[in-house]
Amino acid sequence: MEWLTEFPAMDKTALRALKKGIDGGFRAWTREHGDTVEAFFEPIKQMLIWSEKFLLNTPWPIILGGIVLIAWLASRSWKITLMTLITMVLIGYFDMWDNTMRTISIMVVSTFVSIILGIPIGIAMSKSDKLQSLITPVLDVMQTMPGFVYLIPVVMLLGIGKVPGLLAVVIYAIPPIIRLTNLGIRMVDKEVLEAADAFGSSPWQRLKNVQIPLAMPTIMAGINQTIMMALALVVIASMIGVKGLGQPVLQAIANQYFTLGMFNGLAIVGVAIIFDRVSQAYGKRLQSHSEVVHGK
């Protein structure tokens, strides 16, 4: 009656052979194509290095001014702008400026990459039900798989450093922008689309003049979520050598430095709130013309 108490699992040696086979195959593939893969990611690596250098080497008052200005331009809200200023000043005062710049750098680049890849994928998905039913489960897996698991193949391929970190962040953070671009375009008012067609719009004109602008509030919500998820992965990504606010947190866990962990954790929260409020306010401003305010 052993088969009742123990699940009839696959034979141990066979299982070991299977795992070994897959690992071996992947390793061989990596050895053979590692250079090509690395070359492929070279531009992204350069972009990461450049943006980090820019943020670290520019005198802090200029960066601070720039961040506050962007917050103002995007949100047009004194409250949000002031909150941004205070948060950044506190971060600097408690000596976390450099790490915050590193974190902002990888976030900006990974958000940028997510947008560049995510929006076209979302558009393609909105145009084909078949593609939608293919991509949706992939996105589900990407979002539910624990962050650590796909760090493994990424590290096997690219080692430890900025690029694998970015890759991990993008994989984790890209699903919302894809999903919401797809959703936003599918939700565009059918009659407005008919109008665009009736006036003889080409597919590109229809996309550029109608679908993207009308989907923009939804797309912005996706960008906002993408930014938040990217930030959430910063701590995990620091395990594979991404520098920034995540590393001191890891260090603090290992050595039980409560205050160090707390400060850096709060800095991450501060940055998250800034990005969240600013991008949301920007999205709201975009949407203002779609609200119904008869006879104003």
Give the residues lining the site for other proteins (CB under 8 A).
189, 191-192, 194-202, 205, 209-210, 213-214, 216, 289-296
Task: Report helix, strand or coil for 147.
Answer: helix
Residues 6+ away with beta carbon under 8 Å from 204: none
Q: Which is nearer to other proteins, 12 or 294 (CB)?
A: 294
Q: How far is Cα 112 from Cα 135, in angstroms, rounded to an integer?
A: 21
Instruction: Work out how close the CB of 187 gets to other proteins at its nearest, in angstroms, rounded to a whole number.
Output: 13
Instruction: Work out how close the CB of 223 gets to other proteins at its nearest, in angstroms, rounded to a whole number.
Output: 17
Q: Which is nearer to other proteins, 108 or 214 (CB)?
A: 214
Instruction: Work out how close the CB of 278 gets to other proteins at its nearest, in angstroms, rounded to a whole number.
Output: 21
How many other C-beta atoms can be found within 10 angstroms of the C-beta atom of residue 35? 9
Instruction: Work out how close the CB of 181 gets to other proteins at its nearest, in angstroms, rounded to a whole number.
Output: 17
Q: Which is nearer to other proteins, 133 or 209 (CB)?
A: 209
DSSP category for residue 58: S
Instruction: Work out how close the CB of 202 gets to other proteins at its nearest, in angstroms, rounded to a whole number.
Output: 7
Q: How far is Cα 87 from Cα 82, in angstroms, rounded to an integer?
A: 9
Q: Which is nearer to other proteins, 2 or 191 (CB)?
A: 191
Instruction: Work out how close the CB of 85 gets to other proteins at its nearest, in angstroms, rounded to a whole number.
Output: 31
Instruction: Work out how close the CB of 192 gets to other proteins at its nearest, in angstroms, rounded to a whole number.
Output: 5
Q: Which is nearer to other proteins, 213 or 241 (CB)?
A: 213
Instruction: Work out how close the CB of 242 gets to other proteins at its nearest, in angstroms, rounded to a whole number.
Output: 38
Residues 6+ away with beta carbon under 8 Å from 245: 96, 99, 100, 102, 103, 234, 235, 264, 267, 268, 271
Q: Which is nearer to other proteins, 3 or 204 (CB)?
A: 204
Angle between helix 129-144 and 97-127 (nearest 10): 150
Q: Which is nearer to other proteins, 11 or 291 (CB)?
A: 291
Q: How far is Cα 243 from Cα 241, in angstroms, rounded to an integer?
A: 6
Alpha helices in the chain (DSSP H): 2-5, 12-57, 60-75, 78-93, 97-127, 129-144, 147-158, 162-186, 190-198, 203-206, 212-232, 234-237, 246-255, 258-287
Q: How far is Cα 106 from Cα 112, in angstroms, rounded to an integer?
A: 10
Q: Which is nearer to other proteins, 207 or 236 (CB)?
A: 207
Q: How far is Cα 133 from Cα 201, in angstroms, rounded to an integer?
A: 28
Largest CA distance in the chain: 80
